[in-house]
Structure 1
Amino acid sequence: MKTFLKKHFKKFLIACFVIGIFIFSINFYIVKSTEAYVFSDIKKLPKVDAIIVLGAKVSREKLSYVLEDRLLAGVNIIYANKAQALLLSGDHGQKEYDEVNSMRKYILRRNFNIKKEQIFMDHAGFDTYDSMFRAKEIFGIKSAIIVTQDFHINRSVYIARSLGIEAYGFAVDESIYKESLRFNWRIRELLTRVKAFKDVLISSKPTFLGEKIPISGNGMKSWDTIEKAK
């Protein structure tokens, strides 16, 4: 019995080691292949077709601090004249949960001097892969600056570039958040990078596609009908 357990315990350890090397290798590759395209200084960013702000948790219409920081960074990049269009991409899969309209209303409420026509909305950005796929296929974006926190930025840029977007990342400062929260983000990111690698490898399709809305046009065409009428 002891021999049996010892034998299988060794196999278990070997399997864990192999899986660990696999996860580490993918993470290393994604970070190293994108680090040249990630910036924390707005002045160093190139001009692009659009700024893509990725969604995060909201409570009714109240933005989480994470999402608010992303939006403010996106607005500042627009102010720096790096792009004229702002694509807000997030989860609006349910009527009672709406990241994209919450983002849009936040911008308009704050009077950021951004025209309504500049604000595009992707209601089906259910995850980062869907957001990047739809940015290219629905909105026709060829070049973009992606805005999200540092832990998330390499994966975002990796997916976008793998799909054919000339993508750059702006890493929002996350040092203000609790260390325990940042640790949890990074542990989770180890696995989500593996999923991103798999999605790119097998050319996954997003949950939804739909009618094309060129980023060079009027952003209000991407708004909900009821919001257009206001």
Structure 2
Amino acid sequence: MRFLRRLLLGALLLGVAVLCSAIVIDRHVSNTASDFIVRPEEAPSSDAILVLGASVRANGQVSDMLGDRLDTALELYNAKRAPKFLVSGDHGSVDYDETGTMKRYLTEHKVPARNIFMDHAGFSTYESMYRAKHIFDVKKVIIVTQSYHLKRAVYVARSLGIDAYGVAADKSGYQNMEKFKAREFLARNKDFVYARILRPKPAILGDKVPITGDGRSTAKP
């Protein structure tokens, strides 16, 4: 009986230690990135505006969340904060294409195709940032996503050696935000380990496509 009590106490103490560590990491990620979250008018001149993917509708239209990201990115582009877009998202199947949908939205808003680079293998925030550095040779970037997600994205990018700044795209309210925020706590811990300790390579890499070139080279045939 005494052994069982000790075992339960040990498990409880371990659980408390893990939870405390997770909270510390969450606050570290948030606080470290906060200094680099800026208003649109404060965004520095950069190599590119990186728009992170979000869900697209079955009819090929952008979701409200993704539409707000793209509209915010367009405002930065029209203010000449960066000459290129890097749209990074999930295009892992023929039937689901976040990057193509984002590019179509931008070209409909009069952005030349040569200024839009497509990262078809941005399956996660970490992979998007890793590929931005190692495939697209991005050195300075403005990241656009909603505020709940932005600090993690900026933290990962800066941990990987990109001079990254973030602009929030919170133009409206969104469904399921409490669920997104709860998941973000776990995601910050995971990406802290990835970006600061493990540095795993993404599932897909490929040849370099420098952001200084022509974005049309990134279109899938």
TM-score range, shorter chain: over 0.9
Q: Which runs of 4+ in 1 moved over 4 A?
A: 3-6
CA distance in 1, matches of 2:171, 2:22: 24
State the 1:5 CA deviation: 5.4
CA distance in 2, matches of 1:108, 1:121: 13
Matched letter for residue 123 of structure 2:
F
When residues 197 and 174 of structure 1 are mapped into structure 2, their CA distance, relative to the original with a 3 A threshold, is farther
Give the fraction of aligned pairs with identical amino acids, expressed as a percent: 40
Q: 1:211 aligns with which of 201, 207, 213?
A: 207
CA distance in 1, matches of 2:30, 2:208: 31
Aligned to 1:228: none
Matched letter for residue 168 of structure 1:
Y
State the 1:217 CA deviation: 1.0
CA distance in 2, matches of 1:10, 1:203: 35
State the 1:175 CA deviation: 5.7
Matched letter for residue 56 of structure 2:
V
Matched letter for residue 166 of structure 2:
G
Aligned residue pairs, count = 219
Aligned to 1:187: 182
**Mapped contact 1:150–1:174 kept (Cα < 8 A):** no
CA distance in 1, matches of 2:7, 2:179: 31
Within a 5 Å distance, the mapping from 1:15-34 to structure 2 comes to: 15-34=14-33
CA distance in 1, matches of 2:42, 2:107: 27
Aligned to 2:113: 116
State the 1:62 CA deviation: 2.1
SS state at 1:27 partner:
helix
**Mapped contact 1:42–1:80 kept (Cα < 8 A):** no
Q: 1:143 aligns with which of 129, 140, 143?
A: 140
CA distance in 2, matches of 1:7, 1:162: 40
Please report the RMSD computed on the Cα atoms of aligned residues, expressed in angstroms: 1.5
**Mapped contact 2:72–2:144 kept (Cα < 8 A):** yes
CA distance in 2, matches of 1:8, 1:85: 57
Aligned to 2:53: 55
Aligned to 2:99: 100
CA distance in 1, matches of 2:171, 2:18: 29
Aligned to 1:157: 154
Is 1:224 the equivalent of 2:182?
A: no
**Residue segments in structure 1 that go unaligned for 5+ positions in a row:** 226-230
TM-score by length of 2: 0.94
Within a 5 Å distance, the mapping from 1:44-83 to structure 2 comes to: 44-60=42-58, 61-83=60-82
State the 1:79 CA deviation: 0.8
**Residue segments in structure 2 that go unaligned for 5+ positions in a row:** none
Matched letter for residue 9 of structure 2:
K
CA distance in 1, matches of 2:110, 2:94: 28
